[in-house]
Amino acid sequence: MSFAFVFPGQGSQSIGMMNGYSDLTVAKDTFDEASDILKKDLWNLVTNGPDELLAQTVNTQPLMLTAGVAAYRTWLALGGTKPKVIAGHSLGEFTALVVGEAISFKDALTVTQVRAEAMQDAVPAGVGGMAAILGVDDAVIHEICLLAKEEEVLEPANFNSPGQVVIAGHKSAIERAVVIAKEKGAKRAVILPMSVPSHCSLLKDAADKLAEALDAISLSVPIIPLIHNVNAKPSNSIDEIKYALKTQMYSPVRWVDCIKSFIPYGISTVYECGPGKVLAPLVKRIDANLTGIAFNDYAAMKQTLDGVE
């Protein structure tokens, strides 16, 4: 059975999200390693919060990276084998790079911290926003953005599954888009509790800061094919990786295309590796022939491995 691993990004975090891994030394050791590198107690933060600190971009991004790496290391420690292909949603692409041995865990944490700070500084609080629109096709999403943006920025940010798209831009444009979306027949149009308008052109300056950080570290081509968000293709050179990571910050996450790109690899099952159950349910909506399973705790991994055996 050929399988793929996908890694979640910002939005899957919650207090206690690693409780399902707390009895495993490898997971705790991964958090200790990250805490030593970043000089902050990540395990305490993920276990006890508070929510307002957990939700800060500068904390959330290294936390989600660490959680994904901890989960993958647990999979290997339990006897799991390497996936045939990998991808990560937004920030999760950095987790995938670590898993694909294209970047060290230490460098990934350092770059992620720069990325998070640059994103948080790029747009003043209260200026930007994001909204989820459900139940209309992509052409209608583009129409909504054109109608609502006026003289501001408003763009598709995440094509998560057919009929589930996130848009990003100026807060006032987001508010107009929610109203227009309902008029256009959207089943739901809801503003998300995020002040950073990820994956839109408001983050181009932040992307330049990320590019500088990437130039300062060592990168290599992944040993496992890694499908990038911006073009749903694997990278074949270091320059391609840098370009994909930089442009990802101000370009939409083409998650539907990423999952479809697994098909030529003979994939039948996609495992979401990390806390939460955000990506796994999207898999079958994108392709009915695929199965999505969330490894949000040790028990789910063990059950899967026992089933394989």
Q: What is the CA radius of gyration of the chain?
A: 19
**Residue 43: closest CA among 69, 68, 71, 15:** 15
3-state SS track over 231-259: CCCECCCHHHHHHHHHHHCCCCECHHHHH
What lies within 8 Å, CB to CB, of 160 at 6+ separation is: 166, 253, 255, 256, 282
In the chain, count of helices (H) and strands (E)?
13, 9
What's the confidence (pLDDT) of residue 55? 84
Question: What is the rounded CA–CA span in Å between residue 168 and residue 147?
Answer: 14
**Residue 90: closest CA among 110, 116, 114:** 116
What's the confidence (pLDDT) of residue 287? 97
Q: Which of 12, 195, 198, 199 is catalytic?
A: 199
Read off φ and ψ for residue 155, nearest 5 degrees. Answer: -145, 155
Q: Which of 12, 35, 90, 261 is catalytic?
A: 90
**Residue 162: closest CA among 138, 189, 181, 183:** 138
What's the confidence (pLDDT) of residue 309? 44
End-to-end CA distance of the chain: 12
What's the confidence (pLDDT) of residue 22? 85
What's the confidence (pLDDT) of residue 308? 58
Q: Annotate 106-173 with DSSP letters as a single string.
A: HHHHHHHHHHHHHHHHHS-TTTEEEEEEESS-HHHHHHHHHHHHTTS-EEEEEEEETTEEEEEEEHHH
Q: Annotate 167-207 with DSSP letters as a single string.
A: EEEEHHHHHHHHHHHHHTT-SEEEE-S-SS-TTSGGGHHHH
- Give the pair of three-digit tokens for residue 157: 């940010």
- Which residue type sits at 258? C
Angle between helices 204-215 and 105-122 (to 10 degrees): 160
Question: What is the rounded CA–CA span in Å between residue 192 and residue 189?
Answer: 10
Q: Is 199 noted as a catalytic residue in this protein?
A: yes
CA 155 to chain centre: 18
- Which residue type sits at 51? D
As averages over each run of 10 residues, the pLDDT of the chain (309 residues) reads: 93 90 92 97 94 89 96 96 98 98 98 95 92 97 98 98 97 98 97 90 97 97 98 96 98 98 97 94 97 94 81
Angle between helices 105-122 and 57-77 (to 10 degrees): 150
What's the confidence (pLDDT) of residue 11? 81
